[in-house]
Structure 1
Amino acid sequence: MKISPAVRAQAQDLLDFIDASPSPWHAVQTCETRLTAAGFSRLDEAERWTLIPGSRHYVVRGGASIIAFIVGNQPPATTGLRLIGAHTDSPGLRLKPKPADDAAGMVRLGVEVYGGPILATFADRDLSLAGRVTVRTPAGFVIRLIRFDEPLLRLPNLAIHMNREVNESGLKFNKQTELPLLLGVSEDGTKAEARFRQPIADRLGVKADDLLTWELNAYDTQKGVLWGVESEFIANSQLDNLASCHAALSALLATDQPAATCLCAFFDHEEVGSESATGAGGSFLVDVIDRMANSASLDSEDQQRMLARSFFISADMAHAWHPNFPAAYEPCHHALVNAGPVIKSNANQRYSTSAETAARFMAICAKAGVPCQQYAHRTDLGCGSTIGPIVAARLGIPSVDVGSPMWAMHSVRESAGVLDHGCMIAALSSAFDG
């Protein structure tokens, strides 16, 4: 398999991007660092905005959602907008507000299941904590990001001698009683809560009593790798959906002086339904577009003309054909790894793709010189959804759902193709150029 040095570099950059982003808040920080380095300026939702053709900006809401855009050089009412959406969150385990528990000499941390992870994949992994913490200060509270690079936590398996049917019935965890993560051995005279708080306080350089609240998730500390005989595959956590964020961001950063305004919107809470102030079901994208229209002095008629000429690409990972489980797939819809971006369709509008928008994305791929594939879910299996239908409904614009094919979606360790990621970057770059 021929893979160019440039495409391999894109794959390695993706791994670096994910490794720097163990939580949605870190993912936004990673995006912000790259945007700032490329000359994008941060906008504050509480301040007035002044946008001029060619200017580059981004805005963050809630710490875990970010919208970045380049203002087009031509009137938006005649060019429309070029929009790409993805999400920063991934399924996993989130700490409860009061997680620490002393269980017969062991300190455990209680967790909630966030979204739909494959819980068995979290067992026997080198887990740690990442997220954000609010800290008391004399002036009120501040929000601090935190990550522990070293493994702090573990979810040990029960020995097969006590679970003889595990290989026949599968590994299952009771979400309440069997998922708490082991932190350490209880110490005489030290409460479990203090054992939990102190490492966080030490890392932040504050007093343990000044830790007010937190949003922390368990993450796998193993770094991403390229694998396969020719290193043609990618393995890492959070490929769903940080791979799409990376591809869209890479495309935006490579766009120079576009005629139409080009925008990337990365939302939190997709894995739990998107209904939040920072989710795709909230007002974030609508608010930004309204402010862009106001800055361009568009009246209501021109705003409608702008939207009518716009196009939205919902970029979220796709299910790759797995040769060991052929019965899980719809015949004639096998999305192969390293065979190009996948157009996802569903008659019940779990995806936003129509025949027209699918053809439009095919043309985008042809212009970029990359192949594309089509996917539909088995009719007798429940189909997941994306932000595509949500955003398309809110904005009333044509939309297509696409993604790179991957294995083990929602595992703590997912896999995808090196070539596919390069093809997706090329396709999304072509979409911004169109």
Structure 2
Amino acid sequence: MRRRTLIGTALATSVALLSGRRSIAARPEHQIDALVIGAGLAGLTCAQRLIADGQRVLVLEARQRIGGRIWTERRQGSAIDLGASWLHGVASNPLHRVVTQDLQLAVIHTDEQSRITIGLNGQPWSAERTERAEAWLDAFVRRAEDSGSTDQSLSRLLTKPLSSDQRFTLIADVEHELGAPLSAIAANAPLGDGQELVGGDALVPDGLDLVVQYFARGAEIRLGQVVHKIENHPQGVRVTTTAGAVFEARRLCCTVPLGVLKRNLIRFEPRLPNAKVRAIEHLGMGVLDKIVLQFPERFWDPTTWLRNDGPEAGLWPEWVDLTGMIGRPTLMGFIAATQAQQLERLPDQAILTSALNQLKRCYPKRVIPAPTDVLMTRWGQDPFACGSYSFPAVGSTPGMRADLAQRWDAIVFAGEAVSATHPATLQGAYLSGIQAAQALLA
């Protein structure tokens, strides 16, 4: 399951957005039927379904923007998605229909075979070398899925010393897909849990923020509302923010990311049921960060994917060429798991230097100009995400996602982490929002 980036133009949408800088008084319970915590894709989808049923809904969002882990930056008429980026498995992805039919936006199917891997000696891998590494990985994945267990780490299955090619392939195709080190990934799920995604992956050149705006239309959304306590009473729910604002409603959908739940940044009263506590503790939250570099001229080979098999394993091992989509020489680099967490602690200039050094390693004889624009992420340090997406950690089971989704009196949870069929994907978040609305209306 790939998580990449997309580029494009904006669409105006009417959304009732109120800044958190304004004082907000508590609203009586009878004025709100449902509260939704989080204005990401899951929360907005849930809100839309409830509104369509005639419910009076209020969405509380901690950030000063909507979208959550969909984060689109617009530069010089182009959109660059720094969070969620891809429509995975478009053959059965309901968001593909929303994008292409409801929004009538174009999509670009990506070619995974258009890639160059630069080896330790600075030379590109041959086709035969690439095929050997891929064949080894396929065999390893099949063995892990057949014989691995949930209480065993993926690294424990590596009983023989790895070649440098095998190690790189595991980093680029497993650790980067799940955002976690092999030692943290459950051995039976080397490529993640959930259903197999079929039909390939697609980018939306106009940007994913347009999808967010589409699902936000007509919803009342309060920005800057950092929730720190949720009370679940027989007569309804009561929410308190860090600023002291209080909201009451008959029911509530909580869509805060798993990473936030894992850090206990929201207090639940009474305490969450044991099954939900176990799910939060055992499911993993991965980290995948990106850096976007725009250059005055192109210096790299003509390929969609540039893979960096350098001596510093896991340091910016993958780059995607965005030049064709935005019309300016642009590369986006990826870094994940432990390397990403370590790099996030450094200042911007140090992160930029580390990325440029890896590009110079790939092209030591070419002149690499200074970038004209730079964007970077720190999803692990983002207090409203605490990571990029969930993954099947050692000790977790698919049933834990269902436990997290299960309605608890007046409260239901939604988001990619609760999806047993499509975790860590946009469609997982979308479908969980629909499921949550149905549960609240039942």
TM-score range, shorter chain: under 0.3
TM-score by length of 1: 0.25
